[in-house]
Amino acid sequence: MAKLTPMIQQYIDIKEQYKDCLLLFRVGDFYEMFFEDAVIGAKALEIALTARDGDKNIPLAGVPYHSLDSYLGKLIKKGFKVAICEQVEDPKECKGIVKREVVRVITPGTVTDENLLESKDNNFICSISTYSNKYGLSLLDNSTGEFFFTEGKIDLNGIFSLLVKYNPAEIIVFDDNPFLEKLNLLNANISIYEIKKENLTQFNQLLSNVNNYPIALKAVELLLSYIMDTQKSQLKHINHIYFINSQEYMALDYSTIRNLEITTTIKDNKKEGSLLWVLDKTKSPMGGRKLKQWILNPLLQQDKINYRLDIVEKLYNNLYTTEKLSKLIDSIYDLERIGTKIVYNTVNPKDLVALKTSLSKLPLIKDSLLQLDHPSLNDLANKIVLLDDLVDIIDKGIVDNPPTHVKEGGIIKKGFNEELDKLKYTAENGRKWLGEYEHKLKSETGIKTLKIGYNKVFGYYIEVTRTNTHLVPESFQRKQTLANAERYFTAELKEYEELILGAADKIIQLEYNLFCDIRQAALDKINEIQKNSEIIAELDCYCTFAIIASENNYTKPIVDTSDEIIIKAGRHPVIEQMIAKENFISNDTLMDCRENRMLIITGPNMAGKSTYMRQVALITLMAQIGSFVPAKSAKIGIVDRIFTRVGASDDLSSGQSTFMVEMNELANILKNATKKSLIILDEVGRGTSTFDGMSIAQGAVEYILNPDILGAKTLFATHYHQLTSLEEKYSGIKNYSIAVKEENDQITFLHSIIPGGSDKSYGIQVAKLAGVPSQVIRRAKEILHQLENGYDSNNQVATTKDEDLFSHAFEDYLVIIEELKDLDLNNITPIEAMMFLSSIKKKLERR
């Protein structure tokens, strides 16, 4: 390879410091990549891979500087870390090679440009640290400045539930973190980076409320260090770190978020069809992000829930003002993300105009809130900080429709700066003089095609076609020869060139300096901007709840600390939006921790058991986020957790079968539920044989039902009709079923929950409704008739009738279960254990 040029050597030196990044190296109007980066970047961006002039051994790929955002978005979405290397001095003023530095490293979790982000989704980056049996976890949305942390005993389900809830785009861990392998299995869309411990930069700000959590402190320091190293800037948009307190918010695990379709649907992982889809009618990006956080973090404290409900009620009863507020909020831009761009000096003139427009609406919002004369809304209004001075300086300084780029001029309004106005006058007069001078030269020379032009290389010139060069006067000096023309200049033109170009350069530089002054004025108010953003986001959620309650006929729930869930004419908030509302059948619910601890629900598939159970869970969740609910009335005793075991699916990525997934979820529920929890169980035990499944189902029922062990409110749907007999055996169980109309071997689902168990599954009728061929249906009826009358499918007398099967065999299994429960594992000897297992084996062989 030939000797490297100074620029390529500069590239290599900088790349050595950023080995794990694609380096975008500014060269004039392009960002260029060389060597292996060029090969990788060209493939990822689907752009041409070429070679550097004079050295075909150096691969080259580049993108125009003004198109950086679109190309950057593609790289970030593919999980790349990208280092932006800028020219940090003016090429015109430097001697030798232009100085270049990496000004920022952009990763999936550190993106701040709203063009690369979903407006209503946070973009969290997460860090995890561990020590002994404890973990610390921190989460930062670098685009908004929101920062959270927590600490606790190591519990993979709990950690993964947090990761599912906050959905980080990037996770960073120390390179010796024991979770690395498991984290890599969690989600292929999450970028996971390892940081060596010696790379940790000390960071002593904002940590006063973290110092009591030493493991979390390490995670926070790791994250702050990473952000400082990649963003190359002070973190003025981060002014508070919030503790995720398990005593304040309901913990929702992955299964519950998925099974209740809280933020996305199970089928296609889309927002449409989820609870968030129904509730999110927010008008601002900040409000959309806030609402999603509320939905995923239901409150546990009665006073905080009722604080929200009371505000929603006031807005609900004053819909004219609420609609007015909603329209004002609709005109407010993303203050959080604009604020972050101000901090990072990436804000552009259009952003500042958007900031001015947004801040100018605050007085109207404040007045509307005060007119409602409600204590909590008055408090919100009084927290709004009016920034009239900042609005004024932006309004007077920046044109109404400015360019995006800050170093091309056209930003500052006339009258804002006297020196700038003089320069613009000079430049405008210069351009006017050029037109007059061209007309004068045409008249003097008789060359009608003569024209004055300009380019960056040669400046201003007089162009004359080759056929007219004999008419050129001696005062013209040759500047450039073209194929069909000659270019000249004169002493007068040269004098005005210096005047015009000097003014133009000065205009661009002065406009940029004035823009920086305005940007600094905004930076000085960054805390106030963030506070206003927080208030607008909160108000947006309240207005949304009130408007949706009016549109969807929701009612204000009574929320207290009792153990009761009493719902009159409850409806599923999502399903009723998917069908004609008048066709949705509402149902009542009565649950408590006494005589109505467990509702066992039987009935055929497709009749509505799952819908009913989910609707009870969703109504409870909605009440605890401060929303009105789809019911005629509702009284909700606060629940600390909602657990669900719904549906069946293999977890192929971890090699788990349907039954193993089911049992893992059941084990998680039985281990973590409390008397204050709400449990939804749908078809527990169906992933294995009938005997095993029924045994597990009844064992789970008895465990949950027992107030000395758990005693939690539970909705239990099952096809094991034999379990309905437990109502007579245990207090606290109530049987319910789905009403079905049966006529001439045809069934109609009435979707009503009625007292009493069902003794039929209507499986063949459901198969018929689903379109199973009539030949199969006829044969199924024959086989069912034979089995019901004690014959097998070969028309032979069955050796064991159903009642024997489900009485003697099941009783034997229950005896074995009781023996296992009574076994003292701490005091049994190996010989005794062997003898015990041998006795159980003999009992099973007799069956």
- Per the annotation, where are the binding residues for ATP? 603-610
Count CB atoms within 10 A of the CB of residue 40. Answer: 17
What distance lies between CA 423 and its chain's CA centroid?
Answer: 48
Residue 545 burial by Cβ neighbours in a 10 Å radius (0-12, 13-18, 19+): buried
Compute the distance between CA of residue 433 and CA of residue 729 in angstroms, rounded to an integer.
Answer: 104
Compute the distance between CA of residue 103 and CA of residue 86 in angstroms, rounded to an integer.
Answer: 7
Of the chain, the end-to-end C-alpha distance in Å amounts to 82
Compute the distance between CA of residue 736 and CA of residue 739 in angstroms, rounded to an integer.
Answer: 9
CB 297 within 8 A of CB 541: no
Compute the distance between CA of residue 751 and CA of residue 737 in angstroms, rounded to an integer.
Answer: 10
Compute the distance between CA of residue 83 and CA of residue 62 in angstroms, rounded to an integer.
Answer: 14
Count CB atoms within 10 A of the CB of residue 494. Answer: 14
At residue 80, φ and ψ (nearest 5 deg) are: -80, 150
Compute the distance between CA of residue 686 and CA of residue 673 in angstroms, rounded to an integer.
Answer: 22
Binding residues: 603-610
Tokens 């041409």 found at? 48
Tokens 């066709």 found at? 583
Length of the chain: 847
Tokens 């270049």 found at? 100
User: Which two structure tokens, joined as six digits, stand for 305?
Assistant: 């829930």
The beta-carbon contacts of 685-688 under 8 Å, at least 24 apart in sequence, are 685/720, 686/648, 686/662, 686/719, 687/648, 687/657, 687/658, 687/659, 687/661, 687/662, 687/663, 688/659
Compute the distance between CA of residue 297 and CA of residue 289 in angstroms, rounded to an integer.
Answer: 12
Compute the distance between CA of residue 517 and CA of residue 510 in angstroms, rounded to an integer.
Answer: 11
CB 563 within 8 A of CB 632: no
CB 136 within 8 A of CB 218: yes
CB 669 within 8 A of CB 645: yes
Tell me whether strands 633-637 and 558-560 are parallel, antiparallel or unpaired.
parallel
Residue type, 595: E
C-alpha count within 13 angstroms, C-beta hemisphere, residue 654: 15
